[in-house]
Amino acid sequence: MLAVACALLGVVVGSLLTVVVDRVPAKRPVASAARALLRRPASVARDRHTPLLQVATAGLFAAAALRFGADWSLPAYLVFLAAMVAVAVIDLEHFIVPNRVVAATLAVAVPLLAVAALLSGDWGSFGSALLGAVLAGGGLLVVNLISPQGLGMGDVKLAVVLGLFLGWIDLGHVLLGLFLGFLLGAVGGVVLILAKQRTRRDHVPFAPYLASGAVLAVLAGTAIMDWYLG
């Protein structure tokens, strides 16, 4: 039942994300449009992003419910998944990782994880989450300083968010999530070049790969590591 409830919530949140992906890149206000959408849900049908966002968010929310169950951290991970969907779509279309989405995610997620730590008594996970954010952000900052053309500061800021949620699980998931992101990025880049959709000189949005790697690590990281370690 929890997975079904989260899937239904994901449909609603996916609809609201249409406002985010349309307005944030244009630096337009979001809150008023989101309230209007909630008052007039039928208006969302005219937006081209809606089906993809609704299906993706509903599926990810249901998967998170199956992964975490009725854990106090589940609300924070729903915020994380919604943010990853929005960031991926925006970066694919506009080649930016919006500060507004990253900052808002951190502003909501850190208190939610702190509350989860308080209610569960698991302050170790909260400390690991903060350390994961520092390590992931710091690691990608080093990559950015070495190769600023290959990795933008938006990706570095996104890594802070990824490290926070991966670190809550454990620091091994931080490494796994970043590894999967780079692996997916490499494979995706090669596929685009072979398909002649990009050349070696073209910019390829990296945030969707980072987000996908982190989401995969959150939802299936333990199984992946168990398989790898035998």
For residue 203, give both structure tokens.
Answer: 């910019």
pLDDT for 226 equals: 87
pLDDT band at 230 (very low <50, low <70, confident <90, very high): confident
pLDDT at 65 over 70: yes
Burial environment of residue 12 by CB neighbours within 10 A (0 to 12, 13 to 18, 19 or more): middle
Token look-up 């945030």 returns 207
Within its chain, how far is the Cα of 178 from the centroid? 12
Token look-up 């809550």 returns 168
Of residues 59 and 196, more confidently modeled: 59
Average pLDDT for 150-158: 90
Percentage of the chain exceeding pLDDT 70 = 92
- Phi, psi at 53, each rounded to 5°: -65, -40
Q: What is the dihedral of CA 81, 82, 86, 92, to 10 degrees?
A: 30
- Measured CA to CA, the distance from residue 11 to residue 50 in angstroms comes to 9
Residue type (1 letter), 63: A
pLDDT at 42 over 70: no
Q: Where are the domains of the chain?
A: 2-229
- Measured CA to CA, the distance from residue 174 to residue 172 in angstroms comes to 5
